A and B are shown apart, each in its own frame.
Chain A
Amino acid sequence: MRLGDTLVVASRAILRHKLRSFLTALGIIIGVAAVIAMVAIGEGAKARVAEAFESMGTNVLIVSSGSKTSSGAKAGSGSLPTLTWDDLGAVRSEVSDVRFVAPRVHASGQIVSEDRNWLTLITGTTPEMFEIRNWPAKLGAILTQEDVDGGAKNVVLGQTVAQNLFGASADPIGQTVRIQNVPFQVVGVAAAKGQSSGGNDYDDVVFIPVSTFLAKIQGSLQKYIPGTILIEVTNDDLTVEVAGRVAALLRDRHGIAPGREDDFSIKNLTETAARKEESTAALTLLLASIAAVSLVVGGIGIMNIMLVSVTERTREIGVRMAVGAKPRHILLQFLTEALVMALAGGLTGVALGFEAARRLAMKFGWPLLIRPEVIAIAVGFSALVGIVFGLYPAHKASRLDPILALRYE
């Protein structure tokens, strides 16, 4: 018997009961659609996280002032400044494999243009920060070392702030804005950075020279840095090692005896990124296994209907055997029927899952990531389900006694 004939017989049997075949395949359709959509969502989320960390820079260390320990309860890091400007200088001059070091101090404040105002994050920093964060200017220029040295009242606006103060298309370079009643001249607009994985808008920010920040915005504890130190390591692979060197240097400078806790903390973005990716990978795996379970349930549905089909067509099987069908022909016929049904369900599921993933990706602004191997696995798995669950009914059909089958009413 030819393969084409087997396929024709199987397709006809499936098309004879269209609704029943559709309902039977529905389990597989839903299972596969779920697999495709879930994996795509997982991958999209993972890529989004990776992208967010990429925009932060994966070879970046963030050093913040240590947590204050009082009677065992820890306040958040940065609650008591322990990092000094001298620490920053020491890191810059004494730790090797460090490309850039920049302070970053924050305050929330109102920024006012001629006719509008906006509450944003005011960041005091140095030109190195733009290098570390890989953050160029879209219009005008970034801050310069002269701005920092001279305490210039220059400001670089984040994209969101520029839009809210001057409108989307306006060129605010040279305009004057007031921050806490101090006039600043806009020298640049930073390129758009997007949102963080937590939904924070990176572009809702303005940058001013750190010296100006300390003099005009938040001038206290001049010896200490009321914020964090950003460090860019020359090479991704050295991130952890450099973190160790920085820690050793700071412990030494702060005179912390061995065994005592650090009075600062160093966040390694590479590690955080890896942890985030791990958790999304675990989520993907969980969702995929739920989908796999639904595929198995779909397979049971196929088996059920194939058993019904074999019983209904007992007489047909008898006729086929009487005219010369061998047991393996009958086996192959019913196996093909189960396989075709499962495969059709699988392909429909891929199409539906793809569409669902596309819509979700559009809605959440994720990249649409569907790897071809995921589709191959989903289709392959549904074929496997068809074969595994079609085997028993097909075997049962092939073992029928032709005489009894011919007499079956």
Chain B
Amino acid sequence: MAPEPLIQIADVKKTYRMGDVDVNALAGVSLEVVEGELVAIMGASGSGKSTLLNILGCLDRPSEGRYWLGGEEVSQLDAEALAETRNKRLGFVFQSFNLLARTTAVENVELPLVYAGVAPRLRRQRAIEALERVGLGDRLRHLPSQLSGGQQQRVAIARALVNEPRLILADEPTGNLDSRASVEMISLLQRLGDEGITVVLVTHEPDIAAYARRVIVVRDGLVDDDRRIEARRAS
């Protein structure tokens, strides 16, 4: 029996209005992602891959089509409910890390728990656990400016993990990292996949995509190619 799809989208379209012209960022995308999959979305800039990731991440709503996350439809939720979904069920990792400056690693990781209303003591404990999970148990009080790029991105992953989501979305997570840190990063994401967490990442680097189990290529707002590959292992 095939595992229950965590992500299911059906004929999703997204149209932006740029001045007088309507731009079809997504022209009708349907796909399913099962739990524990590591999926790489590739495509040229302007292909619609970022728009797809934003919709999957509940940062944006599709103009048309439907989206079920863990069997629950989220395509018509309002801003408040989308925020709740992002908080409880998703984790984000960005190319530019997007950590709060002048805020320690552990406080950055606590941020989703702050909005979830978790009590300070418990919040601190869970943030420390998340940082230990990404190998930064000795950097709790460091500021982002005192950490290397790879370490900052690991803090961001800890932040994405702290609410124990089933889905992590990563937008060019290795884009600002050197090759050694990139490999460390992708192996960390692979390990999360092994633990049953679904990871969807956007990348334009074939070297990185090669670590995924499935590569989806987006072109002109449509899925151009969707295939499973033998994932390269980092270690």
A: residues with CB less than 8 A from B are: 1-2, 4-5, 16, 315-316, 318-329, 402-403, 406
* Cβ-based interface call for B214 (8 A): no
**Chain A to chain B contacts (Cβ below 8 Å), 13 pairs:** A4-B120, A5-B114, A16-B102, A319-B98, A319-B111, A321-B59, A321-B86, A322-B57, A322-B94, A325-B87, A327-B83, A403-B54, A406-B59
* Cβ-based interface call for B44 (8 A): no
- Cβ-closest chain B residue relative to A4: B120
Residues of B close to A1: CB separation below 8 A: 114-115, 117
Residues of A close to B117: CB separation below 8 A: 1-2
Residues of A close to B98: CB separation below 8 A: 315, 318-319, 322, 406
* Cβ-based interface call for B112 (8 A): yes
Q: Closest Cβ of chain B: how far from A169's Cβ, in Å?
A: 68
- Cβ-closest chain B residue relative to A329: B115
- Our count of residue pairs bridging A and B at CB distance below 8 angstroms stands at 64
Interface residues of B in 68-102 (CB under 8 A from A): 79-80, 83-84, 86-88, 92, 94, 98-100, 102
Please count how many residues in chain B sit with their CB below 8 Å of the partner chain's CB atoms.
26
B86→A323 contact, CB < 8 A = yes
Given contacts A319-B100, A321-B83, A325-B87, 20 further A-B contacts (CB under 8 A): A1-B114, A2-B114, A2-B117, A2-B120, A5-B114, A315-B98, A319-B111, A321-B86, A322-B59, A323-B87, A323-B111, A324-B84, A324-B88, A324-B163, A326-B84, A327-B79, A328-B80, A403-B54, A403-B59, A403-B60
B60→A320 contact, CB < 8 A = no
CA distance A16 to B87 in the complex (A): 27
B102→A322 contact, CB < 8 A = no
Q: Closest Cβ of chain A: how far from B207's Cβ, in Å?
A: 25
- Cβ-closest chain B residue relative to A319: B98
- Cβ-closest chain B residue relative to A2: B117
Residues of B close to A318: CB separation below 8 A: 98
CA distance A318 to B54 in the complex (A): 13
B94→A323 contact, CB < 8 A = no
B115→A326 contact, CB < 8 A = yes
CA distance A4 to B100 in the complex (A): 19
Given known A1-B117, A320-B111, contact A326–B83 (CB-CB < 8 A): yes
CA distance A322 to B92 in the complex (A): 7
A316→B116 contact, CB < 8 A = no
Q: Closest Cβ of chain B: how far from A38's Cβ, in Å?
A: 41
Interface residues of B in 146-188 (CB under 8 A from A): 159, 163
Given known A16-B102, A403-B54, A403-B60, contact A323–B115 (CB-CB < 8 A): yes
Chain A interface secondary structure, helix, strand, loop or mixed?
helix
- Cβ-closest chain A residue relative to B83: A326
CA distance A315 to B94 in the complex (A): 12
Residues of B close to A326: CB separation below 8 A: 79-80, 83-84, 115
Q: Closest Cβ of chain A: how far from B95's Cβ, in Å?
A: 10
A324→B79 contact, CB < 8 A = no
Q: Closest Cβ of chain B: how far from A208's Cβ, in Å?
A: 82
Given known A2-B117, A315-B98, A318-B98, contact A325–B60 (CB-CB < 8 A): no
Q: Closest Cβ of chain B: how far from A235's Cβ, in Å?
A: 67
Residues of A close to B115: CB separation below 8 A: 1, 320, 323-326, 329
Q: Closest Cβ of chain A: how far from B84's Cβ, in Å?
A: 7
CA distance A98 to B195 in the complex (A): 103
CA distance A194 to B88 in the complex (A): 75
A324→B102 contact, CB < 8 A = no
Contact partner of B86 (CB less than 8 A), chosen from A315, A322, A327, A328, is A322
CA distance A229 to B57 in the complex (A): 94
- Cβ-closest chain B residue relative to A402: B59
Q: Closest Cβ of chain A: how far from B52's Cβ, in Å?
A: 12
Given known A16-B102, A319-B100, contact A325–B59 (CB-CB < 8 A): no
Q: Which of B80, B100, B111, B114 has the most CB of A within 10 A?
A: B114
- Cβ-closest chain A residue relative to B50: A403
Given known A2-B117, A315-B98, contact A324–B54 (CB-CB < 8 A): no
Residues of B close to A16: CB separation below 8 A: 102
A323→B112 contact, CB < 8 A = yes
Residues of A close to B114: CB separation below 8 A: 1-2, 5
| Closest 8 A/B residue pairs (Cβ) | A324-B87, A323-B112, A326-B83, A324-B115, A319-B98, A324-B86, A322-B92, A325-B115
Q: Closest Cβ of chain A: how far from B34's Cβ, in Å?
A: 24
Residues of A close to B84: CB separation below 8 A: 324, 326
Given known A322-B59, A323-B159, A326-B80, contact A316–B100 (CB-CB < 8 A): yes
